């Protein structure tokens, strides 16, 4: 949870929390960090927690996918992922689930938060406006509060499509309303594919208020944020989509950019931080040689330099040092990572503490298999992103 707190506090003063707490009584929203593993929630409003039934401790640090279920439209989820990849705002209507398993409709607006100085996306804000369900009968339209959905248990809507949800919803509406008016027993539900004008206005107002707080209190930290990208992203900056993909890889590795001066580290995994004892801020922008020390073998360093020069993979056993100055033998595997055009975009370095001295590695994969799995996952993420970026330009 320390990384969750730091993610928020490094951009906004502590007064920001107080102001957001005031907004959070009325506005259901969350703030997430794409730079952390699994793109977790770092802030959740009271209104959002009240709607979903979760406590703040149960939500912070987890992905927003925890609220999806069988009736959640996969197409809408893909629209959200595409917007995150392209680092732009999007609006979708979808079904989410509460802690007790009951579904409800929301109008979801997701917007990136940009760092003014670097142009990088630092957070995403997601506003969820609960929708009222409109049903139709002979006398015209009737607005039914979305709470009727809470009376429909999750088991009833465990279908492969929203058509079945629509059928179940229609059946429940008839049961709820027929005792009030015999003329509405033939009501047919309308799937709320579109939010009303009032619901859309609520989302716009909520997002404006949230960004007003974020931009104001980021000034006090000197790390000003904005709603629209104010500058071009810094050279070598990874997209939030690639960072999210890399964050799913649990092994220790770093990604370096050979096209930048001194080939700096542009991504480091959580496992790498745990292995070396450094924080991410202490690692990014530095050359990997900072892990070396007085007893590091020059011949191993020469093999690494030759591998990079010839754009070929290599594996070496090299003595490295942690932040606390303790040493460890590093089984280091280095491999070029090519984009969709075949050009080397990055080099990935996978670290495994000497397998011959740690019993846990003897009981799982061999070091080469573990390294190759990481390299394969990194290559897939980079190629997928470059292919998507290429197709979006055509």
98: nearest Cα among 134, 69, 127, 57: 69
How large is the average pLDDT for residues 184-203?
A: 65
Which of 157-166, 190-199, 337-346 shows the lowest mean pLDDT across its residues?
157-166
Q: State the pLDDT at residue 170.
A: 44
Q: Where are the domains of the chain?
A: 2-131+195-226, 133-189, 240-393
The residue ranking higher by pLDDT, 275 or 164, is 275
Q: State the pLDDT at residue 391.
A: 53
152 has pLDDT over 80: no
How large is the average pLDDT for residues 89-95?
A: 94
How large is the average pLDDT for residues 166-180?
A: 40
Report how far residue 322's alpha carbon sits from residue 278's, in angstroms, rounded to the nearest whole number.
Answer: 8
How large is the average pLDDT for residues 314-343?
A: 92
* 169 DSSP assignment: H
Kindly report the pTM of this predicted structure. Answer: 0.68
How large is the average pLDDT for residues 149-175?
A: 38
May I ask the CATH class of domain 240-393?
alpha beta
Strand ranges in the chain using DSSP code E only, listed in sequence order? 29-32, 41-44, 90-97, 103-115, 121-130, 133-137, 140-144, 188-189, 225-226, 253-256, 265-268, 314-321, 327-338, 344-353
The dotted CATH code for 2-131+195-226 is 3.30.450.20
- Tens of pLDDT, residue by residue over 244-269, are 889 889 899 999 999 999 999 999 99
Report how far residue 41's alpha carbon sits from residue 62's, in angstroms, rounded to the nearest whole number.
Answer: 6
Which of 14-18, 54-58, 105-109, 228-232 shows the lowest mean pLDDT across its residues?
228-232
**Overall residue count recorded for the chain in this entry:** 394
* Fold equal for 2-131+195-226 and 240-393: yes
How large is the average pLDDT for residues 372-389?
A: 81
């Amino acid at each position: 949870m320390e990384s969750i707190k730091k993610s928020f506090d490094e951009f906004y003063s502590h007064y920001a929390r107080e102001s957001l707490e005031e907004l959070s009584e009325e506005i259901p929203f969350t703030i997430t960090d794409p730079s952390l593993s699994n793109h977790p929630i770092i802030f959740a409003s009271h209104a959002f927690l009240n709607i979903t039934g979760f406590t703040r401790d149960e939500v912070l640090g987890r992905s927003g996918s925890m609220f999806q279920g069988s009736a959640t439209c996969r197409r809408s989820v893909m629209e959200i992922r595409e917007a995150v990849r392209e680092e732009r705002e999007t609006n979708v209507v979808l079904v989410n689930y509460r802690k007790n398993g009951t579904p409800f409709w929301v109008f979801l607006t997701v917007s990136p938060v940009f760092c003014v100085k670097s142009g990088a996306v630092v957070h995403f804000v997601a506003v969820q406006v609960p929708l009222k369900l409109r049903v139709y009968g002979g006398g015209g339209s009737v607005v039914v509060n979305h709470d009727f959905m809470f009376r429909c248990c999750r088991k009833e809507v465990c279908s492969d499509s929203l058509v079945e949800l629509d059928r179940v919803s229609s059946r429940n509406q008839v049961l709820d309303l027929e005792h009030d008016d015999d003329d509405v027993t033939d009501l047919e539900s309308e799937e709320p594919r579109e939010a009303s004008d009032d619901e859309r206005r609520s989302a716009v107002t909520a997002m404006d208020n949230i960004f007003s707080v974020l931009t104001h209190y980021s000034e006090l930290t000197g790390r000003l944020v904005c709603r629209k990208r104010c500058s071009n992203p810094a050279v070598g900056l990874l997209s939030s989509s690639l960072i999210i993909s890399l964050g799913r890889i649990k092994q220790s590795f770093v990604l370096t950019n050979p096209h930048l001066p001194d080939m700096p580290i542009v991504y480091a995994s959580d496992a790498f931080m745990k292995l070396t004892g450094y924080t991410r801020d202490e690692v990014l922008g530095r050359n990997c040689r900072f892990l070396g020390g007085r007893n590091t073998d020059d011949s191993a360093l020469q093999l690494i330099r030759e591998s990079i020069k010839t754009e070929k993979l290599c594996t070496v056993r090299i003595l490295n040092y942690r932040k606390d100055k303790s040493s460890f033998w590093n089984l280091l595997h280095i491999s070029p990572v090519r984009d969709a055009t075949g050009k080397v975009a990055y080099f990935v370095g996978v670290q495994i503490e000497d397998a011959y001295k740690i019993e846990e590695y003897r009981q799982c994969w061999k070091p080469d298999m573990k390294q190759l799995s990481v390299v394969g996952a990194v290559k897939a993420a980079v190629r997928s992103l470059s292919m998507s970026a290429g197709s979006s330009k055509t």
